[in-house]
Amino acid sequence: MALDRWIAFFILLLCLAYGYAAFFTMDGLLPPIMKRSPIWPSSFPKVLCIGGILMSLSILLKLEKPIGAEKSPDIDLTRLGDYNVAQAVMLLCLMVAYALLLRPLGFLASTFLFLTIGSYLLGERRYGLMVLVAALAAGSVWWLVDSVLGIFLSPLPFFMNGG
């Protein structure tokens, strides 16, 4: 089985476990007043797991490739050195660093740094554009989550928020 189908199988297993949690265990502790709501906290996870199951099944059953497409796998493991593996590993490390620095640095600074460093790692060298897009993206996402959705998201580092 090709690498893309193995990855799709792994994602299918994750979506099945996530779907089990979303459909059978998440809503058990809801207070009675919330059970009358049309949208529950598990609504979005349910949509995510159904979408993930459908997409991974389409890859497993080879429905995403047109008839008569090439038979060779997309990733040739014998030529692994030709791919940008170091770049992918650095991006994964950057994602972990973003997750760890989200609370200490606050949303705005950590998201700005993640987007700026990530775009640099991917090859963008127009620094003014990188900074502008990262600042606009971090600020607009924070504003949408905080003001529009009403979910408090700490924008500043912990020492500036009073602990």
* 70-114 confidence digits (pLDDT tens): 565 566 667 777 778 889 899 999 999 999 998 889 899 999 999
Distances (CA, A) of 20 to 49, 57, 86, 134: 9, 17, 35, 36
Residue 138 burial (C-beta neighbours within 10 Å; 0-12, 13-18, 19+)? buried
Q: What is the pLDDT of residue 70?
A: 59
Residue-range domain boundaries for the chain: 3-75, 85-160
Contacts of 48 (CB under 8 A, 6+ apart): 15, 18, 22
Distances (CA, A) of 14 to 6, 9, 50, 60, 113: 13, 9, 11, 14, 30
Q: Is pLDDT at 17 greater than 80 in this prediction? A: yes
Q: What is the pLDDT of residue 86?
A: 87
Q: Is pLDDT at 163 greater than 70 in this prediction? A: no
Q: What is the pLDDT of residue 162?
A: 61
**pLDDT top residue among 34 and 116:** 116
- Looking at mean pLDDT, say which of 4-8, 34-38, 118-122 comes out highest: 118-122
- Rounded mean pLDDT, 6-20: 92
**pLDDT top residue among 5 and 93:** 93
Q: Is pLDDT at 152 greater than 70 in this prediction? A: yes
Percent of the chain surpassing pLDDT 90:
44
Q: What is the pLDDT of residue 75?
A: 66
Locate 140 and state its tokens: 């607009």
- Rounded mean pLDDT, 44-66: 88
Q: What is the pLDDT of residue 52?
A: 94
Q: What is the pLDDT of residue 36?
A: 77
